């Protein structure tokens, strides 16, 4: 039993290191991919960016966001949320890049041994999709299980196609109490946007 516990502890530490490594490099990629402020002079360069449907306040975004997700692990977790999203794209000669920043609140239900436990949560997510295909996404959830009075944070990352995600998550328990949210989980999530077509569009005046 002692050897099993030690192996389980080493596995958890290794998984934590892997998640941190992937999260660190993904964040570097995300920050390097952010849009830079436009300079109208560009040192007399005739290339300049055109922005259509520019949002007035990036924090408020340009769409409502409704995520619906299901996580499978040692227990099952169903979630639904409501928030805002800042959707934008860039199209040029090499293809199109679609990006969303989304944030909001939600409600979830954990199921374990035929018992159901409710929780409330707040989330933030960033999704990136490049066509021709390359996709990535990260998300962070704060979760409070009000039945057990247990707090969690749940970072997750994986593949994103903007309207759909497949993420791996690692639930970190912040206080004492019985764990209901799974430590390791795989999430399939559908993202609904209203309106869907009102993207902020960036493109060069010529390629």
- Give me the pLDDT at residue 150, please: 95
- Give me the pLDDT at residue 26, please: 52
User: Domain residue spans in the chain?
Assistant: 53-204
Q: Which residues contact 11 (CB under 8 A, 6 or more apart)?
A: none
Cβ pair 180, 150 in contact under 8 A: yes
Is it true that domain 53-204 has CATH number 2.40.160? yes
Cβ pair 157, 168 in contact under 8 A: yes
Rounded Cα distance between 99 and 202, Å, is 11
- Give me the pLDDT at residue 137, please: 95
C-alpha 183: how far from chain center = 18
Burial of 206 (0-12, 13-18, 19+ CB in 10 A): exposed
pLDDT in tens, 70-95: 999 999 999 999 999 999 999 887 78
pLDDT-based confidence at 62, cuts 50/70/90? very high
Q: Which backbone phi and psi does 83 adopt, to 5 degrees?
A: -165, -160
Q: What's the residue count for the chain?
A: 207
pLDDT in tens, 111-160: 988 888 899 999 999 999 998 778 899 999 999 999 889 999 999 999 99
Sign of CA dihedral 189, 190, 194, 200: positive
User: What global pTM score does this model have?
Assistant: 0.74
Pair type for strands 95-112 and 63-72 = unpaired
Rounded Cα distance between 115 and 151, Å, is 19
């Amino acid at each position: 039993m002692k050897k099993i516990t030690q192996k389980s502890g080493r596995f958890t530490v290794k998984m934590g290191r892997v998640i941190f490594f992937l999260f660190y490099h993904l964040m570097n990629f995300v920050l390097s991919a952010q849009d830079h402020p436009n300079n109208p002079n560009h040192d007399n360069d005739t290339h300049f960016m055109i922005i259509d449907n520019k949002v007035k306040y990036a924090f408020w975004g340009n769409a409502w966001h409704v995520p619906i997700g299901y996580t499978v692990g040692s227990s099952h977790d169903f979630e639904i949320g409501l928030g805002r999203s800042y959707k934008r794209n860039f199209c040029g000669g090499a293809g199109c890049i679609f990006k969303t920043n989304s944030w909001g609140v939600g409600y979830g239900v954990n199921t374990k041994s035929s018992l159901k436990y409710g929780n409330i949560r707040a989330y933030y997510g960033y999704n990136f999709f490049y066509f021709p295909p390359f996709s990535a996404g990260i998300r962070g959830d704060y979760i409070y299980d009000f039945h057990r009075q247990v707090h969690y944070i749940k970072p997750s990352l994986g593949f994103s196609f903007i309207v759909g995600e497949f993420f791996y998550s690692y639930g970190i328990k912040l206080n004492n109490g019985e764990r209901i949210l799974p430590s390791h989980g795989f999430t399939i999530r559908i993202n609904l946007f209203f309106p869907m077509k009102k993207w902020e569009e960036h493109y060069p005046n010529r390629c």
